[in-house]
Amino acid sequence: MRTPTDHAVEAPLPDARAMRVAIVVSRFNEDITMRLRDGAVEALTVAGAAAEAIEIFEVPGAFEIPWAARAAASTGRFEAVVCLGCVIRGETYHFELVCNESAAGVSRVALDHETPVANAILTVENEAQAWARAEDKGRDAARVAVEMARLLEAQS
């Protein structure tokens, strides 16, 4: 637990050995989302997760991510779920709908299934912003998922 005087320092990767992680990734804006996926897989591997312990579920778009995350979480096979996608603002209100509903759905999965679910669905104004975040946010999501799974494990 941090105190108000602590300084934020990037923590080392949590230990992901013997941990199974589901990665749900959208194919929409595929070049960007596959970069997110690669960053997440790399972070999990560096943290000790075995390649066969990382299962990837591809879905058409960000709106479908919560459904696949729920399906993965409900199996009980995974200690954590990582959700990856990219929604780039367009000219219509559709951007807000997809962003809000995908975020709400991902949060609901975590709460309903008591499974750590990391949300790295990028919601950006343009493609340049997406590329600037693509690799790091995938890694960050993997880190968050493992850290929260270890916290849940410690509380059990």
What's the pLDDT at 2? 45
- Global pTM reads 0.89
- The CATH number covering residue 66 comes to 3.40.50.960
CA distance 66 to 134: 20
**In the chain, how many domains are there?**
1
Q: Is residue 153 a part of any domain in this protein?
A: no
Q: Is residue 143 a part of any domain in this protein?
A: yes
Q: Is 7 a known active-site residue?
A: no
Q: Is 2 exposed, middle or buried (0-12, 13-18, 19+ CB in 10 A)?
A: exposed
CB 65 within 8 A of CB 30: no
Q: Is residue 11 a part of any domain in this protein?
A: no
Tens of pLDDT along the chain (156 residues) come to 444 444 444 556 788 999 999 999 999 999 999 999 999 999 999 999 999 999 999 999 999 999 999 999 999 999 999 999 999 886 765 667 777 688 888 999 999 999 999 999 999 999 999 999 997 999 999 999 999 999 988 887
**Residue 13's closest CA among 39, 33, 52?**
39
Q: Is residue 10 a part of any domain in this protein?
A: no
Q: Is residue 1 a part of any domain in this protein?
A: no
Identify the active-site residue in 50, 75, 94, 112: 94
Domain range enclosing 142? 21-147
Q: Is residue 12 a part of any domain in this protein?
A: no
Q: Is residue 2 a part of any domain in this protein?
A: no
